[in-house]
Structure 1
């Protein structure tokens, strides 16, 4: 029987915790119906001051991190807050506990932004990982020694697992079920929860969300220029025209503030515009290409596929509301 510990972190996302427990409970019930012992024992793990949280889940055993508990698998749910630094600081007591569990042989899995807690523990240093696609830039800046794979739905490296955003939680759970219970149980669970087992990438769920909480007026001016005229501008010189700065200076400051160069910013802005047109309109592909600022269809398709992870036609087929 696999001893599973689920962290009751501060700022945990209820949907993440519910998905984890629901899937594990469902598998236990499958075994019970077949007159077999349940494969999982589930324990909610908390800091002493967070013991009151465990009372909200009377169906599960609970224990503080101060207890001498050993687990085969530790699960870290997603955070519900956007202030990841605050969330890590609020959960600092778990960091040495996670390190200890790993040294004792436990596997550890994080879901969505829960990867930030693993990153802070140092357990992901030098390993591959993923997290919510829209949190990848912040994660890379915070943990540069982690080999982040933004497009991946699930990663596994040396007994540590991570998943991408939201519903990628289910894909990691299926992966763990396949490892510990076999393919048959994983497939059966996928059918119960209507999970597409074939998805291994999450890049097409990404939304370009440029940084705006900075105080660099020069960069802000360049951002506004790009966003207002992305259909016309094509060179850095056109972008920074009339902005009182040298090309070298603005490129340096722009990347320092936003994490990308002005040209990359322009590209992401155009691709985001194209995605919205593909999602919300019935425009012909040639119109979409032109209206998002491209003149070369071949170049557009190449950039779109590289950025989004699928062709423009595949993206429209998946997300266009009129086709739903």
Structure 2
């Protein structure tokens, strides 16, 4: 039996915990129906000494749980993930001990922030919610973040992307511990596409705006206002009272990407909205998002989004 601990962190996302429990409980029921022992012994774990009840499972404190094989960290419900991690700092030395004892650790969505804060992900590959990737990479530069990946595994450490990517990591864990037949059976029951390995097309460009650098804010405004027309950095910043080198340096420092990358992401986001919300011909979409070369547009779009513009429209257009 696989002794499996599910962390009830402060500010855990209820849906994340519920999905984990639902899948593992369903696997256990299937085994019981076949006259087999349950493969997973599930225990909920909190950092508080007091115990609470969650569904039919008793919650124990980290000091009362031993001999785990697998630890699962659900996503956070808070938009301020940094603060949420701080509230759960007690788990960090405990996670170190578990990993040292050979326990596998899997994180779901923004739960990766807690594992990264422990340092255990340093030098290892990981993913998280696609819209949290920028904040993650800024906070944990030593982690080899793979923003486009739905699931990653590096030794005994696992991470998943956002929201429904939870199910893909659960299937991955089931295939490892219970075999492919069970993983396929769960995929059918929960209607999960097993072949989804990319989450890039779920991303939304959300640039940092709450900062105190007026020069960078001015450059952002010029890019967002003129993205259809400008082609070079010089055009974008010609009226800003600063040198090109200084603007690029400050922009990268504050925003995390260069002005040209910012322009590209602004254009791609505009193209995605046109593909979702309009019936414009592809040539119109290309032109209205600031591109003149269809071949270049398609190449950049596919690299950024993970699929072609036509595939994106088929998947997300509001009809």
Asked if Structure 1 and Structure 2 have the same fold, meaning a TM-score greater than 0.5 normalized by the shorter chain, the answer is yes
Matched residue SS, 1:81? coil
Cα distance in structure 1, aligned partners of 2:48 and 2:233? 55
CA drift of 1:58 comes to 4.4
CA drift of 1:61 comes to 3.2
Counterpart contact for 1:42–1:61, Cα < 8 Å? no
Cα distance in structure 1, aligned partners of 2:229 and 2:254? 24
Please list every run of 5 or more consecutive structure 2 residues that lacks an aligned counterpart in the other structure.
none
- Comparing 184-193 with 82-91, which one deviates more in the overlay? 82-91
Counterpart contact for 1:6–1:45, Cα < 8 Å? yes
The residue that corresponds to 1:299 in the other structure is 296
CA drift of 1:48 comes to 2.2
Cα distance in structure 2, aligned partners of 1:166 and 1:68? 28
Please list every run of 5 or more consecutive structure 1 residues that lacks an aligned counterpart in the other structure.
none
The residue that corresponds to 1:93 in the other structure is 90
Cα distance in structure 2, aligned partners of 1:58 and 1:132? 26
CA drift of 1:270 comes to 0.2
**Superimposed CA distance per residue, residues 6-46 of structure 1 (whole angstroms, 9 cap, x where no aligned partner):** 00100100010111001111111111211211111100011
CA drift of 1:68 comes to 4.7
Matched residue SS, 1:155? strand
Counterpart contact for 1:9–1:46, Cα < 8 Å? yes
The residue that corresponds to 1:211 in the other structure is 208
| Correspondence 1:149 to 2:146 | yes
Counterpart contact for 1:273–1:292, Cα < 8 Å? yes
Counterpart contact for 1:48–1:66, Cα < 8 Å? no
The residue that corresponds to 1:113 in the other structure is 110
Report the TM-score when normalising by structure 1: 0.96
Report the TM-score when normalising by structure 2: 0.98
Cα distance in structure 2, aligned partners of 1:10 and 1:224? 37
The residue that corresponds to 1:42 in the other structure is 42
| Correspondence 1:159 to 2:156 | yes
Cα distance in structure 1, aligned partners of 2:199 and 2:65? 38
| Correspondence 1:69 to 2:53 | no
Matched residue SS, 2:63? coil
| Correspondence 1:135 to 2:135 | no
Counterpart contact for 1:119–1:143, Cα < 8 Å? yes
What number of residue pairs does the alignment pair up?
319
CA drift of 1:88 comes to 1.2
Counterpart contact for 1:130–1:155, Cα < 8 Å? yes
| Correspondence 1:188 to 2:168 | no
Q: Pick from 165, 168, 183 the counterpart of residue 168 of structure 1.
A: 165
Structure 1 moving runs of 4+ over 2 Å: none
Taking only aligned residues, the RMSD between alpha carbons, in angstroms, comes to 1.0
- Comparing 162-171 with 40-49, which one deviates more in the overlay? 40-49
Matched residue SS, 1:48? coil
**Superimposed CA distance per residue, residues 64-98 of structure 1 (whole angstroms, 9 cap, x where no aligned partner):** 11125121100000001121221111001100111
The residue that corresponds to 1:238 in the other structure is 235
